[in-house]
Structure 1
């Protein structure tokens, strides 16, 4: 249960029980039945821009948002935010981009929103500190529950034979 490291033992015992009874997938499917239509990079960019416009109008603009097939393997992450800086004349220009693991193409809508909110919050807050999580909760009030449930979802996915979700 590598995604659940750091959680209290009592909570982990409940997760182990759900797994042993074969109910983890069923519980997640019932709780997160709503799919999303954000399948292309363009749709992901528009989705992210809409959230950014609603909650973070003054944040730096994004030039690229896309799904990335290699993200988990290369960075051990589900999403990344990067700033590409280059000199343009006498000024330094920065371009911001977000990459989201391709597994979110098929993940429930709530999990896609959680990861996009997480990466957007990094536009303002670099570190995973109190201000960062307050911003995440401002954009998604159930952020902490979604983060935990996403960890359960990833745990469940890892337990499935390859090619089955």
Structure 2
């Protein structure tokens, strides 16, 4: 973690103020960002398999979103490539069965979250659960996220900084 990394654009932080992007850029260039994040989040969670993930998501859903429809599937997905795509997905699949329209909802979390700190896993699960009530990333969506996870914005920023670290060639911190 002490090797100096080449400068890299901080694409995951595009919506943040320039001063914050510059600070992350400097920490990446100095090779210090990984160590700081690892110090803030020292341990990976223990939610490693599909069953544990279903229980974890189910507990959060029953605590905050009891009135929403059930989830048909909750899984880690190795097809989601975090660096180029998304952190997780929430999908709704509608099928006609006889005279009825059946809707199934799924949440898929990128495989890299299997070895991340619990705070990052919680942030992405909260984000995907919030989409069950709020489709768009608007004020109501982020209010719901903050209701379920009061530190949502800080966790999202730290996760985005970590993704910038990885894209710059930094090593994975939790395995």
Select 2:163's aligned residue among 154, 159, 164.
154
Q: Which runs of 4+ in 1 moved over 4 A?
A: none
Could you say which structure has the greater relative contact order, defined with CA pairs below 8 angstroms and 6 or more residues apart? 2
- Which residue is 1:46 aligned to? 55
Q: TM-score, normalised by structure 2?
A: 0.88
Matched, 1:31 2:7: no
Name the CA distance, whole Å, in 2 between partners of 1:19 and 1:153: 10
Residue 20 of structure 1: how far off its partner (Å): 2.4
Report the counterpart of residue 119 of structure 1 in structure 2: 128
The alignment partner of 2:53 has SS state of helix
Query: RMSD of the TM alignment (CA)?
Result: 1.6
With normalisation by structure 1, the TM-score equals 0.93
Give 1 or 2: higher helix fraction.
1
Q: Does 1:108 align with 2:117?
A: yes
Structure 2 partner of 1:144: 153
Aligned pair partner of 2:137 in 124, 128, 140: 128
The whole-number CA distance in structure 2 between the counterparts of 1:60 and 1:134 is: 20
Question: Match of 2:131, SS?
Answer: helix
Partner residue, 2:64: 55
Shift of 1:72: 2.0
Q: Which of 16, 23, 30 in structure 2 is aligned with 1:14?
A: 23
Size of the alignment, in residue pairs?
163
Q: 2:104 aligned with 1:81, yes or no?
A: no
Please list the CA deviations of residues 76-117 of structure 1 after superposition, one character each: whole Å capped at 9, or x if unmatched: 111000111111221111010000000000111100000000
- Name stretches of at least 5 consecutive residues in structure 1 with no aligned partner: none
Give the conservation status (yes or no) of the 8 Å contact 2:73–2:105: yes
The CA deviation at 1:53 is 0.5
Alignment partners' CA distance in 2, 1:137 and 1:6: 18
Unmatched runs of 5 consecutive residues or more in structure 2: 1-9
- CA contact 2:72–2:105 (8 Å) conserved in 1: yes
Deviation of 1:6 (Å):
2.1
